[in-house]
Amino acid sequence: MNVCHCGSHFESAGQSALSAYTADIPSAGCPLERGAAEELHYCHSVINTIDEHVYSFRFCGDQVASVFHNPQCETISGYTPQEHYARPGLWYDMVHEEDRERVMRHFENLEGAVPIEHRIVRKDGSVRWVSNSCVATRDRRGKVVRLDGFLIDISERKVMEEALRKAKEEAEAATLLKDRFVSLVAHDLRSPFAAILGLLELLEDDTHAPLSARHKEILGTVIVSCRNMVEMINDLLNITRIRTGRLTPRLRFVSARAVVDTAVQSMAGRAQMKGVRLESDVPRNLMVRADQTLMVEVLMNLVANAVKFSHPGQTVSVRAVAGDPVAFSVADRGVGVPPEFANDLFSAEVRTSMAGTQEEEGTGLGLPYCFDIMKAHGGSLSFVSEPGEGSVFTAALPLVRPQALVADDDEVVQLQLRTLLEEQGYVVRIAADGEEALRLAAASVPHLLLTDLEMAGMDGYELIRRFRSDPALASIPVAVLTVMEKDAQRLAELEINDFIAKPINPAEFVPRIRRFLR
C-alpha cells in the first residue's frame, strides 16, 4: 500500500482537522463563506466530544491520506491523531492480520453505512474488538475516493458474548449428558419392571390358587402402579431418543388425512368407553412432509389427552388446515389447562400431570415428547385453553411442496412431464442434460428425479451414479424414462426406483408418480 504525506491531492501530514474540513472553502470573506467556516468549526467541536473514533480518508489511485481523526482515536487505538496523520496507512496496520482480508473485502463492496465487527491491535499490542461503521464516496467510475466513518469499542460486549456462548455449550453438554443418563437408567429399568408386571398379571389370573378378594384388590392397585411406571419409562426413553439424536424423523410426503384417520381410529375405543365422540375434518388431497409414524404418535397423544379431560357426551374435534404452516388441531370442551401448568406443559423436567375427569392417570411426559417431535420436524406445538371451557392444541408443520427435477433434452417430453407433474402438486425444474441437472440439484435438493438416459453431454447413467454417490442426493427416488428393451441390461446395474416407458402414457404415469408423494 502506498501512502501520501503531501502533494496537490491531499492535505499535508499533521495538518489540523479544521483546515482539513475548510480547505475547499474560499477565503473571500463574504458572510456566507464565514458562516460556513463557523459551521464547520462547530461540527468539529461537537465531533471531538463524542466517545467514538471518528475518521476520514481520501484515496487517489493506490495512495491514501488521513484527513481527519478526532481525539478519541487515542482512547480506542492508543495512537494520537498526529500519529494517524503522519502514517496514513496506520489504519490498515491496526486491523488484526486474521481479519484484514475480510475487512478489505467489506470496504471494497461497501454499499451504505453497513458496520463490520473486527479486531484491532492497539499501540501497546493489546487486541480490542471494534464495530466499524463507514460510508464510501465513489467517483463516476464507481471507485472509492473517500471513506468517512467511526469505530466503537465493543470488546466488553464480545467478552460477554463469548462467555454466553461457552455457558450455552456447557449447558447443552450437561443437558445431553443428563439425557443420556436418563436414557440408560430408563432402559435398565424397563426390562425388570416389564417382567414384574408380567408376573403380577399371571398371579392375578391364576385360577389354580385364586387370591382372596382383599388380596386381589391390593394386587390390582400394584398392577396399575406398575403399568404407569412402565408407561413413564417408555415415555422417558422416547424423549431421550429424540433429544440425543438416536431417533430422527424420516421425512416423506404423506397424506394428512391418513395421519389423522390412523390416530382417531386408534383412540376410538378409549373414547367410546368414556362416551366421548370423535370427529375429524381433513382436506382430501392435503400432503405434508413428515415422519408418518411420529406424527401419528403426536396426534394420538393429543387426542388421548382431549378424551381424558373431556366429560361423557362431549366431542373431540381433529382438524387439519392447509397453509404455511400446515396446522393439525385437536379441540375439546373439557376442563382446560390449569393456569399454573401453562408455562411448563411441554417441559419434561416439571411434572404437570393431573387426573382426568374419571380419575385417569398419566405420566405427564406425553406432551413434552410431542413437543420434541414437532421441533425435530422443524415445526411447533402450541395450545390455547380456558379453564372449564376446554383446550385447542395445534401441531404445525412447515409447508413443503414436492420438487421434481426432470432431465431430458426433448422439449416435447419436457412440456408433457411439466404438465402432468404440476397437476400432481409438484414444483418442476427442467434440465437438458446431466450437468445442468446436477447444478439445479446443488441449488435446491429435489424430492424426485426423472431422467432420460440418452442425452448430449452428461447422460442419464452418469447422472444417476453421481446422485447415488452424493450423500445429500443418494436417498432421492429416481425414475428412469426409457425404452425397456434397449436399456434393461445397463439399468440393472443402477439403483432405480421406477421405470417409465416412452412414449409416456398419462394413465400409467400418474399412479406411478403418486407413489412418491406417499
In the chain, the domains with their CATH numbers are: 2-153 (3.30.450.20), 160-243 (1.10.287.130), 252-397 (3.30.565.10), 403-517 (3.40.50.2300)
Q: Is the dihedral of CA 328, 330, 331, 336 positive or negative?
A: negative
Digit-coded pLDDT (tens) for 428-442? 999 999 999 999 999
CA atoms of 115 and 157, how far apart (whole Å): 15
**b vs e for 58-77, b when ≥16 Cβ sit within 10 Å of the residue's Cβ?**
bbeeebbbbbbbbebbbebb
User: Looking at 212-216, 404-408, 441-445, which range is the least confident one?
Assistant: 212-216
Q: Is the pLDDT of residue 23 over 70?
A: no
List the single range of 15-19, 385-389, 412-416 with lowest mean pLDDT: 15-19
Mean pLDDT computed over 28-39: 48
pLDDT of residue 4: 42
Confidence at residue 515, expressed as pLDDT on a 0 to 100 scale: 77
Mean pLDDT, residues 229-244 taken together: 69
Radius of gyration of the chain (CA): 35
Distances (CA, A) of 176 to 135, 165, 169, 180, 454: 46, 16, 10, 6, 51
Give me the pLDDT at residue 149, please.
Answer: 87
pLDDT for the residue numbered 490:
65
pLDDT tens digit string along 82-138? 998 888 888 888 999 999 999 888 887 777 667 899 999 999 999 999 999 888 888
Model pLDDT, residue 142: 80
Of 457, 437, 455, nearest in space to 445 by CA: 437
Helices (H), ranges, 377-483:
411-423, 434-443, 460-469
* 19 has a pLDDT exceeding 60: no
State how far the Cα of 244 lies from the Cα of 236, in Å rounded to an integer.
12
Can you give the pLDDT at residue 143?
82
Asked if residues 282 and 257 have their Cβ atoms less than 8 Å apart, the reply is: yes
Residues 280/281/287/291 CA torsion (nearest 10 deg) = -20
Ranges of H-type helices in 309-459? 366-376, 411-423, 434-443
> How many angstroms separate the CA atoms of 297 and 228, rounded?
18
Task: For residue 214, give every residue at least 6 positions away whose Cβ sits within 8 Å of its Cβ, in sequence order, or none.
Answer: none
Examine residue 312 and say whether the peptide bond preceding it is cis (omega within 30 degrees of 0).
no
214 residue type, one letter: R
**Sorting pLDDT into bands at 50, 70 and 90, what band is 8?**
very low
In 3D, which of 70, 87, 61 has the Cα closest to residue 18? 70
| pLDDT exceeds cutoff 60 at 13 | no
Q: Which residue has the higher pLDDT, 190 or 137?
A: 137
Phi, psi angle pair for 436, to nearest 5°: -65, -35
Q: What is the maximum alpha-carbon separation in the chain?
A: 123
The reported pLDDT for the residue numbered 510 is 84
CA angle, 63 then 64 then 65, to 5°:
130
Cell of 104: 478489505
Residue 413: CB atoms within 10 Å: 18
Confidence tier at 499 by pLDDT (50, 70, 90) = confident
Q: What pLDDT, on a 0 to 100 scale, did the predictor assign at position 30?
A: 47
Give per-residue pLDDT as tens, 36-58.
Answer: 455 555 566 667 667 788 888 88
Cβ–Cβ under 8 Å, residues 62 and 2: yes
pLDDT at 352: 66
pLDDT computed for residue 63 by the predictor: 78
The whole-chain average pLDDT of the chain stands at: 80
- Residue range 153-174: mean pLDDT, rounded: 84
Look at 32 and 342; give whichever has higher pLDDT: 342
Give φ, ψ of 134 to 5 degrees: -145, 145
| 168-172, 273-277, 361-365, 442-446: range with lowest mean pLDDT | 361-365
pTM of the model: 0.53
Model pLDDT, residue 394: 94
